[in-house]
């Protein structure tokens, strides 16, 4: 017979935090795809410096968007009282 107690169950703050990560990933990918489509880089053959700067800007945009799931996890974790239960 299997017994479940409330102390062995996963805390709701962790569950909501991981849901926030999933939602953050989806939102981040949608935002990045729009940024990728909106920015037209000049050809490398005619404007090498402009192409390099444009490629670097797109790379930085991906880095900034990748922070979104992490921040969503900690925001939802804190909203649902995860930090108050850790102490």
pTM: 0.64
**Residue 13 gets which letter from DSSP?**
H
Encode pLDDT of 21-80 as tens digits.
888 888 888 888 888 888 888 998 999 999 999 989 888 888 888 888 888 888 888 888
CA angle at residue 10 from 7 to 12, to 5 degrees? 110
Element (H, E) at 67: helix 48-79
43 vs 51: CA distance, rounded Å: 6
Closest to 20 (Cα-Cα) out of 87, 81, 86, 79: 79
In angstroms, the Cα distances linking 7 to 18, 58, 70, 83, 87 are 19, 46, 26, 17, 15
pLDDT of residue 20: 85
């Amino acid at each position: 017979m299997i017994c479940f107690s409330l102390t062995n169950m996963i805390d709701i703050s962790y569950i909501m935090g991981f849901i926030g990560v999933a939602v953050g990933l989806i939102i981040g990918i949608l935002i990045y795809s729009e940024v990728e489509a909106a920015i037209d880089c000049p050809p490398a053959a005619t404007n090498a410096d402009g192409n390099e700067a444009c490629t670097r800007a797109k790379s930085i945009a991906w880095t900034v968007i990748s922070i979104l799931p992490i921040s969503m996890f900690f925001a939802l974790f804190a909203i649902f009282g995860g930090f108050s239960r850790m102490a």
